[in-house]
Structure 1
Amino acid sequence: MHEALTLIVVLLGSAVAAVVLFRRLGMPPILAYLLCGLAAGPFGFGWITDLEGIQHLAEFGIVFLLFTLGLEFSIPRLLTLRRVVFGAGPLQVILTGLAVFAVMRLLGFSSLTAGITGCALSLSSTAIVIRELIGRGAVNTGYGRSATGILLFQDLAAVLMLVLLPLFSQEGNDNLLGMTALTLGKSLLLFVGIFIAGKWILPRLLEETGRTRSDEVFVMTALLLALVAAWVTHWLGLSMALGAFLAGMMLGESHFRHQIEADLRPFRDLLLGLFFISVGMLVDPNLFASQWHWIFLAAVSIMLFKGLLIMMLLKLLGDRTEVGLRSGIILSQCGEFGFVLVALAVSHNVMTPGKAGLLVSITVLTMSVTPALIQNSGRLTRRLLRPWLSVPDDAPLSKDIQGHVILCGYGRVGQNLMRYLGNFHHQAIAVDLDLVRLQEASAAGEKILYGDASRKDILERAGIERARLLVVTFDNARLAERIIHTVRDINPDIRVLVRTRDETHLEGLIEAGAAEVVPEVLEASLMLVAHALMMLDVPFERVLATLRKTRRERYRMLRGYYHGDSFPTSDSAGNPYRLLHAVTLSGQARAIGLSIEECSLKDVEIREIKRGGQGEENPASDTRLQADDTLILYGPLEAVEAAETKLLGG
């Protein structure tokens, strides 16, 4: 008992530390679990020797993974992306699997091992790719939709692989075709049964449990549904994962979906972590050290092959070359379902742990570079396609044009600004580095130059000497500062308007020479304030005066807020983050009776004093503090903490 408890503590402790470290490095947490398994397994420190026992428990992680995958699986979405799902998806999986199978056979591996390897390497990582696309707001872009469509089919293919693998692993099975047909027939009957249950029985059951208003009962019911579906398929001689997936898919269309998903997520994440730890135990570091060159070659080869194949398939379906290539780069890695297939193959004794370790090493290597590839996929796509993309001729701006506007960046903000400038009969020219955007805008007859807006020669081609206004439309404060310095050297009189995300770089950009800086987060707050006040029948003149005053004071009232648990230690420029913090002077607080000036607070500003239900903003330095006053402090974290100590009794 003591040894088991020690083992659990060590595994959980190492997993927590590894996941935190990998998240800070921007790497997938799956790799952290694999590393923990490597350390705890027989090839590491040898903390765990009973691999079979832990693998049986870890299988439930796969059950819950497939159940939540079914919950998220949307048939309407599948039909929306059917061109990619049923066009590029099947061809990508089949052609990649066949290519890997052929290479493995040429290298002398058995047909079964080559087939499993081909299936495992043909799949990409849904967990990593979808998370990155959502985080970057790219799900509804052209490449985001293409990548999502292919991943949808890969998930379906993975379920089918998990169903058929135990069947192919049986030795001496002479009637393989008949057994396959029988298995697919059972799966179809199971689908019909679960569909009937999911349509008429399960919703009523969940409604009854919901009426109890007991979280415990609802969680237990959700757990029971996933496990019963897995048990039924196991009893029928099918994969437990299939039943879990079908049950999840049936419940995915109900209004209980989000609650079930939230309730099961802790169990899924914990058991999946255990599953990936068990997979990591298959990796032999000595084998990796002796075969690292082959592992590296295999990882690079599979990523290049998948990337180019996906690009060509999407190109055949009518997508633009850049969309196909970017989708290929994003989906070039191998995925977590490869680990599931490998673990299942080892448990059925159709693949040795040594071969499984090599396959896991290849998959880990491809997954480790995926976040960086996705982050730089746009830049990499442009660089790779640059020799084949023609830049439209952009002759220098006519000298007859005077007082025009130069837009640095022609994304969504730049294009919207160009339209409104045209409506008000102001001439404008844009500068952008996106060749595809350049070609489309030029074909539409819009004035746009290709180049880096921080370069002097590009700005001169845009007529910077004669321009009246320059607008930086993208959120990159460092590049904006470089542009301002270049502009000031050529035309000191031009006004510069800069867009930023928040107030972090506001003062620096003003000092560099920007006439106005528009922090979009603060402007969004101002717009909400304006709409709220007008909906409360505050006169428009007062609302407008408030907006003008706030902007004139450079958003002083809007800076700083109560961060809660997500407080960052520094801003994007590396400066200590500033926050708001409330301090109430109660009891024997030292500051009672003193003026603000006499308190001698360092690096901290008192934004407001709340007294008797009334607030006084920006109090004078000679204001005397009274008992029960609430002071709203603004400043860096350490300075605010020091000020609180001084006010209360320091």
Structure 2
Amino acid sequence: MMAGLVTVVVLLVAMVVAVPVAKRFGFGAPLGYLAAGLAVGPAGLGLVTNVEAIAHASELGVVMLLFLIGLELRPARLWVMRKSVLGLGGAQVGVTAALVAGLGIALLGLPVPAALVIGFGLALSSTAMALPMLAERGLLANQSGRNAFSVLLFQDLAIIPAVALLPLLGNGSVPDADGAWVAVAKAAAAVAVVLVGGRFLLRPLFRIVDRAGTPEIFTATALLVVIGTAVLVEEAGLSMSLGAFMAGVLLSDSEYRHEVQADIQPFEGLLLGLFFVSVGMGTDLPALMAQPLRFAALALGVMAAKALVMVVLARVAGVPVAGAVRMGAVLSQGGEFGFVLFGLAVAGGSMTQEQASAAMLVVTLSMIATPFVFAAAERWLVPRLLAKPKRPFDSIAEDGSPVIICGFGRVGQVVGRVLRMRGIPFTALEKNAAQVDFVRKFGNKVYYGDPTRVELLRAAGAEKARVLVVALAETEESLRVVEVARRHFPNLTLFVRARNRWHVHQLMDRGVENPVRETFDSSLRLTADVLRELGVADDEVARTIDTFRAHDERTLVRQHAVHHDEGRLIQTTRQAAEELQSLFEADRAER
């Protein structure tokens, strides 16, 4: 018992140390977990030796990941994705497997059965690695992220027929027909049980548990659904991950989806991390040290081949260059199902233990290298591919407009619409070319240019205009426009949108009187509506809001004098809260 607890402590310490360091240097959590496994495993410090037991337990992380993915994929959405799943995913697996198998036969002299198994195994990518890397950068919702998920989903489905066909490669004989039909029947029965049971039993089950009002039992029920479905499907000879994915899809339309997701997420994150730790611990460092260049070349060669195939197929499917490169980088590694396939292939006689160990080491090295490759692509390659040719700023014919609006987003457009309704001409400057093209469709007079440039303001007629409205979203750009206007165009009256109190103080430092806080008035209006709904009389609501507004504006001015001193700023904030409370108490006593 104590030995098991010591192992848990060692693993947790390694994870707590390695993951923040990896994320600090921009390589993502998976690399941190792999490094932790390498450090404490048999080939490292040797603090943990029961690698196989940990690997079995950690498989639940992949299972829960697929369940959560299923929760996000409603059946209607899954149907919409069918073309990318079957088309792009099928092409990736088929082409990559054929290419890797051909290279294995031509360059390494592998027997055909072993080459086919290795080709297919290395064509698979790591769902557990790719999806977290995409999620960390918020890329799952864009086109390349969705397509990458489609490919991964097809790979998870493809492992089923691959495992079923392995006996054909073992000794060249066709497996017993009766046994094959029994296996197919078991698999079909398991899928039917999951689909029918999920359709008619899951919601009533969660409804009964929810009425009990015991949160921990609800969590236990969610875990039972995930693990029970996975075990049922595995017993039928299918992938545990596939069973969990189906359960997630069946629950995706239910009213309990979000609560189940919140209960499962913490277990998924920790167990998925443990999966990568087990991969790191299982790395055959002695074999790698014996032939480091050979294995490094094999891993890099596989990654290059997979990335090239993925980029070409993605481009054929209409994915932009930057998205295709991103898909190639994130899917270039081998996957966790490769370990399963190679182990079964050894048991079936289609490849030797030496070949399987070498293939597993290549998969591990590719998984270790992928966070570096993906981070490098995201930092240096993708931004250059996304960058569009610089569009020249518009030339502005000065027309004597009395108002110049810098920034024509949601705030600047409201100002412009009201001015146009009153028949007051204005010149609007916007740095976002797409925004300029969009608002021009509605007849707005807006020019593409950088309002922080004095030449552009002069061309817009700043020397003759009366008012400059600074409605920029970026705080630093707003401050630069104010500085330029104060220095070069003192004739202008400035009205400036302020993002927060710090922005207000910076504007006051630059001589701007009464900056407009963008959410202050709307927040007060919302508060007034809440008070009225609670039965407070209109005159009392108005007095309350006016008291708060006046006090907050006085506090803002008072804090401007000390906003560079954090200690005094905190002190004045506390004093202001006490003063406001005293004001309301006095007002309540008078009534």
Residues 432, 450 of structure 1: 8 Å contact kept: yes
Residues 117, 342 of structure 2: 8 Å contact kept: no
Where do residues 182-581 of structure 1 align in structure 2 (5 Å cutoff)? 187-283=187-283, 290=293, 306=310, 310=314, 313-314=317-318, 324=320, 327-328=323-324, 331=327, 333-334=329-330, 339-345=335-341, 347-348=343-344, 350=356, 352-369=359-376, 380=384, 383=387, 385-386=388-389, 391=391, 394-397=394-397, 399-408=398-407, 410-442=408-440, 445-520=443-518, 522-535=520-533, 536-539=536-539, 542=543, 545-546=546-547, 549=550, 552-553=553-554, 555=556
From the two aligned structures, give the one with the greater helix fraction: 2
CA distance in 1, matches of 2:233, 2:187: 8
Structure 2 vs 1, CA of residues 34 and 300 (structure 1 numbering), >3 Å: closer, same or farther?
Answer: same
CA distance in 1, matches of 2:138, 2:471: 23
Which one-letter code corresponds to 1:525 in the other structure?
A: S
Structure 2 vs 1, CA of residues 304 and 512 (structure 1 numbering), >3 Å: closer, same or farther?
Answer: farther
**TM-score when scaled to structure 1?**
0.71
CA distance in 2, matches of 1:297, 1:431: 51
SS in 2 for 1:67: helix
Structure 2 vs 1, CA of residues 558 and 521 (structure 1 numbering), >3 Å: closer, same or farther?
Answer: farther
The answer for unaligned runs of 5 or more in structure 1 is: 316-323, 560-572, 581-601, 620-650
Which one-letter code corresponds to 1:52 in the other structure?
A: E
SS in 2 for 1:470: strand
Larger CA deviation: 484-493 vs 198-207:
198-207
Residues 393, 449 of structure 2: 8 Å contact kept: no
Structure 2 vs 1, CA of residues 431 and 359 (structure 1 numbering), >3 Å: closer, same or farther?
Answer: same
Structure 2 vs 1, CA of residues 442 and 578 (structure 1 numbering), >3 Å: closer, same or farther?
Answer: farther
Corresponding pairs, count: 553
| Structure 2 residue aligned with 1:111 | 116
| Structure 1 residue aligned with 2:351 | none
CA distance in 2, matches of 1:43, 1:512: 62
Aligned counterpart in structure 2 of residue 616 of structure 1, from 559, 582, 587: 582
The structure showing larger relative contact order (alpha-carbon pairs under 8 Å, at least 6 residues apart) is 2
Deviation at 1:386, TM superposition (A): 1.0
CA distance in 2, matches of 1:72, 1:97: 24
| Structure 1 residue aligned with 2:352 | none
Aligned counterpart in structure 1 of residue 89 of structure 2, from 93, 114, 130: 93
Which one-letter code corresponds to 1:245 in the other structure?
A: F
Residues 442, 448 of structure 1: 8 Å contact kept: yes
Which one-letter code corresponds to 1:252 in the other structure?
A: S
CA distance in 2, matches of 1:510, 1:57: 60
Residues 463, 489 of structure 2: 8 Å contact kept: yes
Deviation at 1:426, TM superposition (A): 3.2
CA distance in 1, matches of 2:13, 2:568: 33
Where do residues 67-216 of structure 1 align in structure 2 (5 Å cutoff)? 67-78=67-78, 82=80, 85-88=81-84, 90-97=86-93, 100-101=96-97, 104=100, 105-106=102-103, 108=107, 110-120=115-125, 125-130=130-135, 132-133=137-138, 144=141, 146-147=143-144, 149-151=146-148, 153-170=150-167, 171-172=170-171, 175=174, 187-216=187-216
Residues 403, 468 of structure 1: 8 Å contact kept: yes
Deviation at 1:576, TM superposition (A): 5.2
Residues 303, 366 of structure 1: 8 Å contact kept: no
Which one-letter code corresponds to 1:153 in the other structure?
A: S
CA distance in 1, matches of 2:205, 2:154: 31
Percent of paired sites with the same residue? 24
Structure 2 vs 1, CA of residues 76 and 579 (structure 1 numbering), >3 Å: closer, same or farther?
Answer: farther
Deviation at 1:36, TM superposition (A): 0.8
CA distance in 1, matches of 2:186, 2:193: 10
Deviations 1:505-526 (A, max 9, x none): 3211221243443444545533
Deviation at 1:34, TM superposition (A): 1.7
Residues 219, 264 of structure 1: 8 Å contact kept: yes
